[in-house]
Structure 1
Amino acid sequence: MRRLRSPEGQANPAGIYDALHAMGDVVPAPWNAYLVTGYEACSQVLRGRNWLALDAAWQERQPENYRWHNRASSDMNKTLTRLNAPDHPLQRRCLGNLFGRDTMNTLTDQVEKDVGRLLDGLSDALAHGEADYADLVGERLPISTVGGWLGIPAESHPKLVRLAHVQAYSQELLPSPVQLADACDASAELWDFFAALVDERRAAPADDTVSHWIRDLDAAEPDREVVDEMLRALTFFIALASLETTATYLSSMVWQLLREPGRWSWLADHPEHIDHALEEVLRYDPPIRFNTRYAQEDIVLAGVPIPKDSMVHVMYGAASHDPRRNEDPHSFDMLRQGSHLSFGAGSHYCMGPALARLEARALLVGLLKRFPGLRVTSPPVYEPRMAIRRVASMGVSV
């Protein structure tokens, strides 16, 4: 796992995936957990009723230690990603389809405008030589989209991105005490920001997304404090989930399509395969390398007995590179139409795939049209993280 976090493992994990697969579909880990590497076993965990998110009740049963008993964990425990039945399905039903057709139609115009503005900025920077694509475009499009949708002032966007980068360390496998302390501070600041946002919209409703949510949820739930707490957790979670994962996806997209000669120009000549290429990026280089569940009871997974309460780490990347599911998995094939679990599966399936795909498609179409000679001059530099990956920088030129 340390190799997977290293610069070499971030850039090319194929050999690590092969080593994990050679060890089996379920591999015992030295911290009383299990790595789930096979595609079918990963899918079984994500879809199974006996595998639960690491909720507050599970954390309370763990020995007192810095990893679980902290502010960052308590904040995350309020979000959908850490809830189980009955709270999780109840909240999902109350919220409905956050990114339904009407929302996506509204966001399409906004995303296309944001793409145009960001590519104008990239063009200006490229006129002077190499530009940092990750900083100028990859990280800015998600916050522009989500920030605009939630009605967050543009001057707050850089702060939210910075805090999200730090808070993400709380979701790592084994963060250091210093990383977790910084993540707790960032989490507290983010929570206060979104609590103030909900309170502001409660006091002065307007024609914006959060105000509409307040009106809709008030009609379904008479307790306003319950509604407001749900919305604080929702806005907090949407910002964290969309900023980190989509930004990495948008940078990985450009890197994978430019790292081999001919891919970029071929896709420009065959735009009907853009969606296939975007799905292959998700399969080949998922923004999240693993997610974690725990066993609700003693259970056998892929022939391996798993004791109750044990953690299992669902290895998304290893699953997508399982040769039994995707033939020749270490080959990047834009026409593959293969299988991946990058948005999860089951009851905790990601709420925002449509938004991530919208941003990626709009951006790729714009890049192919405006920068046919784009090339990477400095390969991606990655944060030393495993769970939610981040491309910190990537130089491009024309």
Structure 2
Amino acid sequence: MMGMGIRGARTAIKLATFRTMMAGAALTGDPAAKLLGRRQPANPFPLYEQIREHGDVYRSRLGIFCTVSHAQCRAVLKDPRFGMPVPPSPPAWEMYQGDADTLIHPIERSLLAVNPPEHTRLRRLVAPWFTASALRTRAARVEKIVHSHLDRISDGQDFDLVRDFTAQVPTAVIGDMLGIEIENYEQFGRWGMALATTIDGVRTMGERRMVRAVLAEMTSFFTQLIEENRRAPRDNAISGLVGAEVDGRPVTDEELIGLIGLLLAAGLETTVNLISNSVRFLLEHPDQKRLFLDNPDTAPDVVEEALRYDPPAMFTVRMALEDVELDGRLIPRGGWLVQLLGGANRDPKVFTDPHRFDVTRGNIREHIAFSAGAHHCVGSGLARLEAEIALRELFARFPDMRIAGDVTMRTARSARGPQSIPISVAQAVGPDPSRRA
């Protein structure tokens, strides 16, 4: 118990010191400190423009480097001289002796946190579930899930878009892929949202306790689920991965738990934000909504422009594996470079009138919302599929819906999206029973 107290005190001191540094730098006007602090600014885009004024690479008073340059972000994400930062040791969420050995954190113990060749091996394990052919097969199941949730809110009553629809669909889709029983979806979604809020690190003792509790529940649940699938294989991703091998090396249970958890932490929140933002931007831009209603087949364009205009993940970080010079600045070995994707996707050198939401934009797919290079989001195809189907079916059911109150945004640092969007339904089109057959 004494050791636990000492470790807890040290962690608390480190977190407090870090927050003090952030707050101090923010008070001096450092835009990077304001962007990367405890709470995401309600409107981060003016801060991106402040950083852009300093050139392609900006050195923050925090000692880290940042870029909002589309070209630099894309180049760094593909540059083998940069890799994923090394997680802190001991982990910031560790509270009890042995936590780091018995609790599996999906960010620190999965392909998201490692570099090639280990990253390549882990990615090859999950990639078959996200190929174009696999997604075509899954499309019908996604449509069924979307219809079932629309049926629950299609009685003409007002509803909250996030709570009643956009948070429900991705949770059900991932649960279906992994073979999670329906009664576990609420818990499943809670884990994903909790981990996503701290995907870029723990800042407070409250976050530390929350992450530790979630990891304890999640590790126990998925350990049991893996054993069940090992004893009685089923038609789902977990059974497909149990016993799988790459280059003659089997996947371990620890790796499997990390991969499953990664779908939660990195995939669930991202897709919820993507669907929510896509709907919100159409409702906030009537001319763009009319273009979509006139041609629902343009759903992919709406999704791509939503990804560019306000990406669901606003930044990612890389560490220099050797001394690297960028834009006349030396980034030393071990130095951190933050790619501010939200700013890069509004780079005026790439996108004309970048602060305008325009689904007819000619280079609409040049955004880097899903990163680039080796760590390009493996689940991006599934997220796009869910968003496109959700958009088409939602507006087919509620063509006259409108935002009926204030949109509340999440406060997570990296993941960005609405927490609540009140919707008023002027007229709803009833469910098509044949679609639920």
| Structure 1 length-normalised TM | 0.90
Matched, 1:325 2:325: no
What is the deviation of 1:212?
2.3
Which of these residues, 291, 295, 305, is aligned with residue 270 of structure 1? 295
What letter corresponds to residue 325 of structure 1 in structure 2?
Answer: V
The residue that corresponds to 2:415 in the other structure is 388
Q: Is the 1:52–1:293 Cα contact (8 Å) retained in structure 2?
A: yes
Query: Residues 316-357 of structure 1, C-alpha deviation per residue, up to 9 Å, x if partnerless?
Result: 100001101111110111111332111110011111111111
Secondary structure of the corresponding residue to residue 200 of structure 1: helix
The residue that corresponds to 1:310 in the other structure is 335
1:371 and 1:74 mapped to 2: Cα distance?
Answer: 40
Q: Which residues of 2 match residues 28-67 of structure 1 at below 5 A?
A: 28-56=59-87, 59-60=88-89, 66=92
1:219 and 1:166 mapped to 2: Cα distance?
Answer: 31
What is the deviation of 1:3?
4.8
CA distance 1:74–1:322, shift in 2 (3 Å): same
Matched, 1:14 2:39: no
2:46 and 2:139 mapped to 1: Cα distance?
Answer: 39
Q: Which residues of 2 match residues 198-237 of structure 1 at below 5 A?
A: 198-215=226-243, 217-218=244-245, 221=248, 223=250, 226-237=251-262
Which of these residues, 346, 360, 366, is aligned with residue 393 of structure 2? 366
The residue that corresponds to 2:325 in the other structure is 300
Comparing 247-256 and 71-80, the one that deviates more: 71-80
Q: Is the 1:381–1:393 Cα contact (8 Å) retained in structure 2?
A: yes
5+ unaligned residues in a row in structure 1: which ranges?
Answer: none
What letter corresponds to residue 17 of structure 1 in structure 2?
Answer: Y
2:107 and 2:333 mapped to 1: Cα distance?
Answer: 23
Comparing 150-159 and 99-108, the one that deviates more: 99-108
Q: Is the 2:196–2:266 Cα contact (8 Å) retained in structure 1?
A: no
Number of residues of Structure 1 aligned to a counterpart in Structure 2: 387
Which of these residues, 166, 179, 193, is aligned with residue 194 of structure 2? 166
CA distance 1:390–1:270, shift in 2 (3 Å): closer
2:132 and 2:289 mapped to 1: Cα distance?
Answer: 30
Matched, 1:279 2:310: no
2:199 and 2:210 mapped to 1: Cα distance?
Answer: 12
Q: Is the 1:7–1:382 Cα contact (8 Å) retained in structure 2?
A: no
Matched, 1:259 2:287: no
Q: Which residues of 2 match residues 90-109 of structure 1 at below 5 A?
A: 90-109=121-140
CA distance 1:318–1:68, shift in 2 (3 Å): farther
Query: Residues 270-308 of structure 1, C-alpha deviation per residue, up to 9 Å, x if partnerless?
Result: 234221121000000100000111110111122211111
The residue that corresponds to 2:164 in the other structure is 136
The residue that corresponds to 2:217 in the other structure is 189
What letter corresponds to residue 312 of structure 2 in structure 1?
Answer: P
1:205 and 1:271 mapped to 2: Cα distance?
Answer: 39
Comparing 357-366 and 271-280, the one that deviates more: 271-280
What is the deviation of 1:231?
1.8
Matched, 1:85 2:113: no
CA distance 1:325–1:7, shift in 2 (3 Å): farther
CA distance 1:173–1:29, shift in 2 (3 Å): farther
What is the deviation of 1:66?
3.7
CA distance 1:73–1:332, shift in 2 (3 Å): farther
Secondary structure of the corresponding residue to residue 238 of structure 2: helix
Q: Is the 2:69–2:343 Cα contact (8 Å) retained in structure 1?
A: yes
1:155 and 1:94 mapped to 2: Cα distance?
Answer: 28
Larger Rg: 2
CA distance 1:48–1:73, shift in 2 (3 Å): farther
What is the deviation of 1:116?
0.7
2:38 and 2:421 mapped to 1: Cα distance?
Answer: 14
1:346 and 1:206 mapped to 2: Cα distance?
Answer: 33
Q: Is the 2:323–2:330 Cα contact (8 Å) retained in structure 1?
A: yes
The residue that corresponds to 2:371 in the other structure is 344
What is the deviation of 1:65?
8.2
Q: Is the 2:292–2:299 Cα contact (8 Å) retained in structure 1?
A: yes
Q: Is the 1:169–1:183 Cα contact (8 Å) retained in structure 2?
A: no
Query: Residues 54-73 of structure 1, C-alpha deviation per residue, up to 9 Å, x if partnerless?
Result: 234xx34xxx7847998589
1:284 and 1:389 mapped to 2: Cα distance?
Answer: 12
Q: Is the 1:168–1:183 Cα contact (8 Å) retained in structure 2?
A: no
1:219 and 1:308 mapped to 2: Cα distance?
Answer: 31
Matched, 1:115 2:142: no
- Identity among equivalent positions (%) equals 29
Secondary structure of the corresponding residue to residue 98 of structure 1: helix
Secondary structure of the corresponding residue to residue 65 of structure 2: strand
CA RMSD of superposed structures (Å):
2.5
5+ unaligned residues in a row in structure 2: which ranges?
Answer: 1-31, 426-437
2:234 and 2:139 mapped to 1: Cα distance?
Answer: 21
Q: Is the 2:314–2:341 Cα contact (8 Å) retained in structure 1?
A: yes
1:68 and 1:22 mapped to 2: Cα distance?
Answer: 40
What letter corresponds to residue 214 of structure 2 in structure 1?
Answer: A
Q: Is the 2:40–2:413 Cα contact (8 Å) retained in structure 1?
A: no
What is the deviation of 1:37?
1.3
What is the deviation of 1:134?
0.4
| Structure 2 length-normalised TM | 0.82
1:256 and 1:41 mapped to 2: Cα distance?
Answer: 28
- Of Structure 1 and Structure 2, the greater helix share is in 1
CA distance 1:156–1:99, shift in 2 (3 Å): same
1:222 and 1:297 mapped to 2: Cα distance?
Answer: 30
